[in-house]
Amino acid sequence: MRTICVFNHKGGVGKTTTAINLAAGLSRHEKKVLLVDLDPQGNLDVSLKTQSKYSVYDALTGKVPVQQCIVPIAKNFDMIASTENLTKIEYYLSHQSNGRDVFKNILSSIKGYDYMIIDCPPSLGLLNQSVLSFAKEAFVPVATDFLGVDALKKMPSVVAEINKHFNHDLKITKVIPTLYDQRNNICKEMLSLIQQDFPKQASHPIRNNTKLKEAPKYGKSIFSHAKSSPGAKDYGKLVEDVLAMQG
Ligand SMILES: Nc1ncnc2c1ncn2[C@@H]1O[C@H](COP(=O)(O)OP(=O)(O)OP(=O)(O)O)[C@@H](O)[C@H]1O
Ligand SMILES: [Mg+2]
Protein backbone atom coordinates (compact mmCIF):
# COMPACT_ATOMS: atom_id res chain seq x y z
CA MET A 1 0.00 0.00 0.00
CA ARG A 2 1.27 3.48 -0.87
CA THR A 3 0.71 5.92 1.99
CA ILE A 4 0.59 9.46 0.69
CA CYS A 5 0.03 12.58 2.76
CA VAL A 6 -1.18 15.65 0.90
CA PHE A 7 0.70 18.23 2.86
CA ASN A 8 1.59 21.90 2.89
CA HIS A 9 1.70 23.98 6.07
CA LYS A 10 0.31 26.86 4.02
CA GLY A 11 -3.48 27.08 3.86
CA GLY A 12 -5.78 27.27 0.85
CA VAL A 13 -3.37 25.83 -1.72
CA GLY A 14 -5.57 22.97 -2.99
CA LYS A 15 -4.73 20.13 -0.58
CA THR A 16 -8.32 19.00 -0.05
CA THR A 17 -9.22 19.47 -3.73
CA THR A 18 -6.19 17.37 -4.69
CA ALA A 19 -6.84 14.67 -2.06
CA ILE A 20 -10.49 14.15 -3.14
CA ASN A 21 -9.84 14.13 -6.86
CA LEU A 22 -6.72 12.02 -6.66
CA ALA A 23 -8.54 9.45 -4.51
CA ALA A 24 -11.60 9.45 -6.78
CA GLY A 25 -9.45 9.24 -9.91
CA LEU A 26 -7.34 6.34 -8.65
CA SER A 27 -10.44 4.42 -7.58
CA ARG A 28 -11.78 4.77 -11.13
CA HIS A 29 -8.65 2.96 -12.30
CA GLU A 30 -9.59 -0.08 -10.22
CA LYS A 31 -7.26 0.83 -7.35
CA LYS A 32 -8.65 0.43 -3.85
CA VAL A 33 -8.33 3.77 -2.09
CA LEU A 34 -8.82 4.97 1.49
CA LEU A 35 -9.05 8.73 1.94
CA VAL A 36 -8.34 9.99 5.46
CA ASP A 37 -9.45 13.49 6.46
CA LEU A 38 -7.31 15.05 9.17
CA ASP A 39 -8.57 18.58 8.90
CA PRO A 40 -10.89 19.67 11.76
CA GLN A 41 -12.73 21.78 9.18
CA GLY A 42 -14.18 18.41 8.05
CA ASN A 43 -14.17 19.59 4.43
CA LEU A 44 -14.03 16.11 2.95
CA ASP A 45 -17.06 14.90 4.90
CA VAL A 46 -19.05 17.87 3.65
CA SER A 47 -17.62 17.72 0.12
CA LEU A 48 -18.46 14.02 -0.25
CA LYS A 49 -21.63 14.13 1.90
CA THR A 50 -20.73 11.03 3.89
CA GLN A 51 -22.44 11.72 7.25
CA SER A 52 -20.13 9.29 9.00
CA LYS A 53 -21.09 8.11 12.48
CA TYR A 54 -17.52 8.04 13.78
CA SER A 55 -14.59 10.24 12.88
CA VAL A 56 -10.82 9.89 12.94
CA TYR A 57 -10.90 11.59 16.37
CA ASP A 58 -12.86 8.64 17.79
CA ALA A 59 -10.22 6.23 16.48
CA LEU A 60 -7.23 8.30 17.65
CA THR A 61 -8.67 8.64 21.15
CA GLY A 62 -9.47 4.93 21.36
CA LYS A 63 -13.27 5.33 21.46
CA VAL A 64 -13.83 2.90 18.58
CA PRO A 65 -11.60 0.65 16.47
CA VAL A 66 -10.44 2.49 13.36
CA GLN A 67 -12.26 0.00 11.10
CA GLN A 68 -15.58 1.33 12.45
CA CYS A 69 -14.71 4.80 11.16
CA ILE A 70 -14.37 3.68 7.54
CA VAL A 71 -17.34 4.54 5.31
CA PRO A 72 -17.82 3.60 1.66
CA ILE A 73 -18.03 6.48 -0.84
CA ALA A 74 -18.04 4.68 -4.18
CA LYS A 75 -16.67 1.51 -5.77
CA ASN A 76 -13.07 1.04 -4.56
CA PHE A 77 -13.29 4.28 -2.61
CA ASP A 78 -13.63 4.46 1.21
CA MET A 79 -13.09 7.28 3.62
CA ILE A 80 -12.41 8.15 7.26
CA ALA A 81 -13.99 11.50 8.06
CA SER A 82 -12.96 14.25 10.41
CA THR A 83 -15.03 16.58 12.54
CA GLU A 84 -14.31 19.76 14.42
CA ASN A 85 -13.59 17.87 17.64
CA LEU A 86 -10.25 17.05 16.00
CA THR A 87 -9.16 20.53 17.17
CA LYS A 88 -8.77 18.86 20.59
CA ILE A 89 -6.38 16.19 19.31
CA GLU A 90 -3.17 18.19 19.80
CA TYR A 91 -4.03 18.57 23.50
CA TYR A 92 -4.93 14.89 23.75
CA LEU A 93 -1.74 13.72 22.01
CA SER A 94 0.49 15.99 24.07
CA HIS A 95 -0.85 14.30 27.24
CA GLN A 96 -0.20 10.75 26.01
CA SER A 97 3.13 9.12 26.80
CA ASN A 98 3.28 7.81 23.22
CA GLY A 99 1.46 10.80 21.63
CA ARG A 100 3.59 10.96 18.53
CA ASP A 101 3.08 7.22 17.81
CA VAL A 102 -0.70 7.13 18.26
CA PHE A 103 -1.45 7.93 14.63
CA LYS A 104 1.05 5.38 13.33
CA ASN A 105 -0.13 2.64 15.72
CA ILE A 106 -3.76 3.07 14.73
CA LEU A 107 -3.46 3.70 11.00
CA SER A 108 -0.91 0.96 10.39
CA SER A 109 -3.53 -1.64 11.36
CA ILE A 110 -5.43 -0.80 8.15
CA LYS A 111 -4.79 -3.26 5.35
CA GLY A 112 -6.27 -4.14 1.99
CA TYR A 113 -5.92 -0.85 0.10
CA ASP A 114 -3.62 0.09 -2.78
CA TYR A 115 -3.49 3.72 -1.67
CA MET A 116 -4.04 5.54 1.61
CA ILE A 117 -4.34 9.27 0.92
CA ILE A 118 -4.24 11.59 3.91
CA ASP A 119 -5.54 15.16 3.65
CA CYS A 120 -3.54 17.20 6.19
CA PRO A 121 -4.57 20.46 7.84
CA PRO A 122 -2.38 23.53 7.23
CA SER A 123 -0.11 23.34 10.24
CA LEU A 124 3.14 21.98 11.60
CA GLY A 125 1.53 20.80 14.84
CA LEU A 126 1.82 17.47 16.61
CA LEU A 127 -0.83 15.74 14.50
CA ASN A 128 0.84 16.65 11.21
CA GLN A 129 4.22 15.65 12.61
CA SER A 130 2.85 12.23 13.44
CA VAL A 131 1.33 11.92 9.95
CA LEU A 132 4.60 12.91 8.31
CA SER A 133 6.41 10.34 10.43
CA PHE A 134 3.98 7.64 9.23
CA ALA A 135 3.47 8.33 5.50
CA LYS A 136 6.07 7.21 2.97
CA GLU A 137 5.31 9.90 0.40
CA ALA A 138 4.36 13.57 0.59
CA PHE A 139 2.48 15.20 -2.26
CA VAL A 140 2.79 18.96 -1.95
CA PRO A 141 0.22 21.14 -3.70
CA VAL A 142 1.63 24.62 -4.14
CA ALA A 143 -0.20 27.72 -5.34
CA THR A 144 1.53 29.28 -8.35
CA ASP A 145 1.99 32.63 -6.66
CA PHE A 146 4.87 34.28 -4.86
CA LEU A 147 3.88 33.31 -1.31
CA GLY A 148 3.08 29.76 -2.40
CA VAL A 149 6.54 29.26 -3.85
CA ASP A 150 8.11 30.93 -0.82
CA ALA A 151 6.39 28.37 1.46
CA LEU A 152 7.52 25.54 -0.83
CA LYS A 153 11.17 26.50 -0.28
CA LYS A 154 10.81 25.50 3.39
CA MET A 155 9.39 22.08 2.62
CA PRO A 156 12.62 20.06 2.15
CA SER A 157 13.91 21.23 5.53
CA VAL A 158 10.58 20.39 7.22
CA VAL A 159 10.79 16.86 5.79
CA ALA A 160 14.49 16.51 6.67
CA GLU A 161 13.75 17.56 10.25
CA ILE A 162 10.93 15.00 10.57
CA ASN A 163 13.07 12.24 9.10
CA LYS A 164 15.93 13.02 11.47
CA HIS A 165 13.74 13.33 14.54
CA PHE A 166 11.64 10.21 13.86
CA ASN A 167 14.29 8.15 12.08
CA HIS A 168 11.95 8.01 9.10
CA ASP A 169 12.27 8.11 5.32
CA LEU A 170 9.49 10.39 4.06
CA LYS A 171 10.05 11.59 0.51
CA ILE A 172 8.47 14.46 -1.40
CA THR A 173 7.42 12.52 -4.47
CA LYS A 174 5.11 15.07 -6.11
CA VAL A 175 4.95 18.84 -6.12
CA ILE A 176 1.67 19.90 -7.67
CA PRO A 177 1.41 23.49 -8.95
CA THR A 178 -2.19 24.62 -8.37
CA LEU A 179 -4.47 27.57 -9.09
CA TYR A 180 -2.62 28.11 -12.35
CA ASP A 181 -3.70 30.80 -14.79
CA GLN A 182 -1.64 30.77 -17.96
CA ARG A 183 -2.65 34.35 -18.83
CA ASN A 184 -0.96 35.49 -15.69
CA ASN A 185 2.79 36.25 -15.81
CA ILE A 186 3.36 35.60 -12.11
CA CYS A 187 1.83 32.12 -12.48
CA LYS A 188 4.12 31.32 -15.42
CA GLU A 189 7.14 32.68 -13.56
CA MET A 190 6.34 30.70 -10.39
CA LEU A 191 5.66 27.52 -12.38
CA SER A 192 9.11 27.65 -13.93
CA LEU A 193 10.68 28.21 -10.50
CA ILE A 194 8.83 25.14 -9.16
CA GLN A 195 9.99 23.07 -12.16
CA GLN A 196 13.54 24.32 -11.69
CA ASP A 197 13.66 23.54 -7.95
CA PHE A 198 11.82 20.20 -8.17
CA PRO A 199 12.60 18.90 -11.67
CA LYS A 200 11.71 15.28 -10.88
CA GLN A 201 8.73 15.89 -8.62
CA ALA A 202 6.91 18.79 -10.34
CA SER A 203 3.70 17.70 -12.05
CA HIS A 204 1.99 19.62 -14.83
CA PRO A 205 -0.06 22.48 -13.35
CA ILE A 206 -3.68 22.24 -12.19
CA ARG A 207 -5.45 25.16 -13.82
CA ASN A 208 -7.76 27.53 -12.05
CA ASN A 209 -11.17 26.09 -12.84
CA THR A 210 -14.52 27.06 -11.37
CA LYS A 211 -15.85 23.50 -11.79
CA LEU A 212 -13.36 22.43 -9.10
CA LYS A 213 -14.93 24.95 -6.71
CA GLU A 214 -18.46 23.79 -7.58
CA ALA A 215 -18.00 20.02 -7.26
CA PRO A 216 -18.09 19.88 -3.40
CA LYS A 217 -21.50 21.60 -3.42
CA TYR A 218 -22.90 18.52 -5.21
CA GLY A 219 -20.92 16.04 -3.08
CA LYS A 220 -18.97 14.91 -6.13
CA SER A 221 -15.44 14.57 -7.43
CA ILE A 222 -14.55 16.57 -10.52
CA PHE A 223 -14.82 13.39 -12.61
CA SER A 224 -18.50 12.92 -11.84
CA HIS A 225 -19.35 16.61 -11.65
CA ALA A 226 -17.76 17.85 -14.90
CA LYS A 227 -15.80 15.15 -16.67
CA SER A 228 -14.82 17.32 -19.66
CA SER A 229 -13.70 20.32 -17.62
CA PRO A 230 -10.08 21.53 -17.47
CA GLY A 231 -10.10 20.49 -13.80
CA ALA A 232 -11.01 16.89 -14.71
CA LYS A 233 -8.37 16.86 -17.46
CA ASP A 234 -5.64 18.17 -15.14
CA TYR A 235 -6.47 15.86 -12.24
CA GLY A 236 -6.90 13.00 -14.73
CA LYS A 237 -3.31 13.56 -15.91
CA LEU A 238 -2.09 13.67 -12.32
CA VAL A 239 -3.81 10.34 -11.60
CA GLU A 240 -2.09 8.77 -14.62
CA ASP A 241 1.24 10.18 -13.50
CA VAL A 242 0.76 8.71 -10.02
CA LEU A 243 -0.21 5.32 -11.43
CA ALA A 244 2.94 5.33 -13.55
CA MET A 245 5.24 6.07 -10.60
CA GLN A 246 7.07 3.34 -8.76
CA GLY A 247 5.35 3.16 -5.38
N1 LIG B 1 -7.58 24.54 -9.37
C2 LIG B 1 -8.53 25.22 -8.73
N3 LIG B 1 -9.35 26.08 -9.39
C4 LIG B 1 -10.30 26.79 -8.76
N5 LIG B 1 -10.52 26.72 -7.43
C6 LIG B 1 -9.75 25.89 -6.71
C7 LIG B 1 -8.72 25.09 -7.30
N8 LIG B 1 -8.11 24.37 -6.32
C9 LIG B 1 -8.74 24.69 -5.18
N10 LIG B 1 -9.72 25.60 -5.39
C11 LIG B 1 -10.59 26.23 -4.42
O12 LIG B 1 -9.74 26.97 -3.52
C13 LIG B 1 -10.21 26.86 -2.18
C14 LIG B 1 -9.11 26.22 -1.32
O15 LIG B 1 -8.88 24.91 -1.82
P16 LIG B 1 -8.67 23.67 -0.83
O17 LIG B 1 -9.74 23.65 0.21
O18 LIG B 1 -8.49 22.47 -1.66
O19 LIG B 1 -7.29 24.11 -0.17
P20 LIG B 1 -6.59 23.51 1.15
O21 LIG B 1 -5.13 23.63 0.92
O22 LIG B 1 -7.14 22.17 1.45
O23 LIG B 1 -7.08 24.55 2.24
P24 LIG B 1 -6.85 24.40 3.85
O25 LIG B 1 -5.41 24.71 4.07
O26 LIG B 1 -7.78 25.41 4.44
O27 LIG B 1 -7.19 22.98 4.22
C28 LIG B 1 -11.48 26.02 -2.25
O29 LIG B 1 -12.57 26.90 -2.35
C30 LIG B 1 -11.34 25.24 -3.55
O31 LIG B 1 -12.59 24.91 -4.14
MG1 LIG C 1 -8.02 21.40 3.23
Whether 38 maps to a domain, the answer reads yes
Whether 74 maps to a domain, the answer reads yes
pLDDT (average), residues 82-110: 88
Span between the terminal Cα atoms of the chain, in Å: 8
Residue-number span of the structural domain to which 114 is assigned: 2-241
Ligand 1 within 6 A of CB of 144: no
How does pLDDT run across 159-179, given as a tens digit for each residue?
A: 999 999 999 999 999 999 999
12 alpha carbon – ligand 1 mean position (Å): 5
- Residue 46: its pLDDT value, please? 72
Whether 247 maps to a domain, the answer reads no
Whether 80 maps to a domain, the answer reads yes
pLDDT band (50, 70, 90) for residue 189: very high
47 alpha carbon – ligand 2 mean position (Å): 11
Count of domains for the chain: 1
**Percentage of the chain exceeding pLDDT 90:** 80
Name the CA dihedral angle for 243, 223, 184, 157, rounded to a multiple of 10 degrees: -40
CATH number at residue 102: 3.40.50.300
Closest ligand 1 atom to the C-alpha of 120?
A: 27
Whether 246 maps to a domain, the answer reads no
Whether 217 maps to a domain, the answer reads yes
164 alpha carbon – ligand 1 mean position (Å): 31
How does pLDDT run across 193-211, given as a tens digit for each residue?
A: 999 999 999 999 999 999 9
Closest residue by Cα to atom 17, ligand 1, is: 16
Ligand 1 within 6 A of CB of 72: no
The preferred substitution site among 6, 16, 82, 217 for testing ligand 1, maximizing ligand atoms within 8 Å of CB, is 16
- Residue 247: its pLDDT value, please? 58
pLDDT tops 80 at residue 51: no
pLDDT tops 90 at residue 132: yes
Closest ligand 1 atom to the C-alpha of 180?
A: 1
- Residue 93: its pLDDT value, please? 87
How does pLDDT run across 213-247, given as a tens digit for each residue?
A: 999 888 899 999 999 999 999 999 999 999 999 65
Q: Which ligand is nearest to the CA of 122?
A: 1
